[in-house]
Amino acid sequence: MSEWELPKGCEMPSIERVGGGGFAWESGVYDASITMAYLNQTTSEAQWLNIILKNSEGKEMRENFCIRSGKAKGNKVYYVKDGKQIPLPGYASANSLCVAVTGKSLAECMKPADKGGTIEKKTINIWNVELKKEAPTERPVVMALVNKSVKVAVHQTIEDKTAKGTNGTYEPTGETKTINECKFFGSVDSGKTAEEITKDEDATMFDRWAAKNTGTVIDKSSKGKPASAAAIMGSAPAENNAQGSLFN
């Protein structure tokens, strides 16, 4: 079994829900192009799929999905809840993206090019924490996604700005920021979401989601309340020197 495949019996929950409720895209459904899709690994050994999207107005959005947990949590693509194996939320979102664009799973797209997959090492410009600017860096790139079109449901979200405290953990600074979150993906041509493609269902989800969410803003900030562990863990990772089999 590939290191990126989910174990047998792992339950794939639906990530396609109608939900509620400056540079940021307004909440809505967009046809976008994927200008870059690359892998990054943090010092904790957690691995992330990073994508850059551009909509029809030329606005860019950067999103990242944690597709493998860090060493402390076993370097797994899933977690266990109530005795059930469930894909990491980031893995489920990245899988939705791959199915929408290629018709193949994330595990299939993650194979190296010399093994029938589409992962190739490329030198790309990404943010360098030490230099505090973008710099040429070698990263594994998911070529099957680059320069492809995708339909995406996007939420505009307000969340806390965080900074590392004296105890080493990230805590709210009292300020907020507006970001975008990709909720799920689908085909530009058929209008179907990834789940509708997989289940061979009619294209209805994007219209239903748009009717309830277009123009809304989701406020996840603590507004003076202590930040939850989930909010802290949901913060985007900083770019670090990557290590591991995909990065060497």
What are the tens digits of pLDDT across the range 133-191?
A: 999 999 999 999 999 999 999 999 999 999 988 888 888 998 999 999 999 999 999 99
Spatial distance between the Cα atoms of 60 and 34, rounded to a whole number of angstroms: 10
Which residues lie closer than 8 Å to 98 by C-beta, 6 or more apart?
104, 105, 106, 108, 109, 142, 144, 145
Residue 1 confidence (pLDDT): 59
User: Where residue 12 falls among pLDDT bands split at 50, 70, 90?
Assistant: low
User: Residue 231 above 50 pLDDT?
Assistant: no
User: Residue 5 above 80 pLDDT?
Assistant: no
User: Residue 53 above 80 pLDDT?
Assistant: yes
Beta bridge partners of 86: 79
For the entire predicted model, the pTM comes to 0.79
What is the 3-state composition of the chain as percent helix, strand, coil, each rounded to the nearest 5? 20, 40, 40
pLDDT digits (tens, 9 = 90+) for 103-132: 999 999 998 888 877 899 999 998 888 898
Indicate the domain borders of the chain. Answer: 28-233
Q: Where in the chain does DSSP place strands (E)?
A: 28-41, 47-55, 60-68, 78-81, 84-87, 119-128, 133-142, 148-164, 170-186, 217-219
pLDDT digits (tens, 9 = 90+) for 60-95: 999 999 999 999 999 999 999 999 999 999 999 999
User: Residue 228 above 70 pLDDT?
Assistant: no
pLDDT digits (tens, 9 = 90+) for 184-226: 999 999 999 999 999 999 999 999 999 999 999 999 998 745 5
**Least confidently predicted of 49-58, 97-106, 169-178:** 169-178
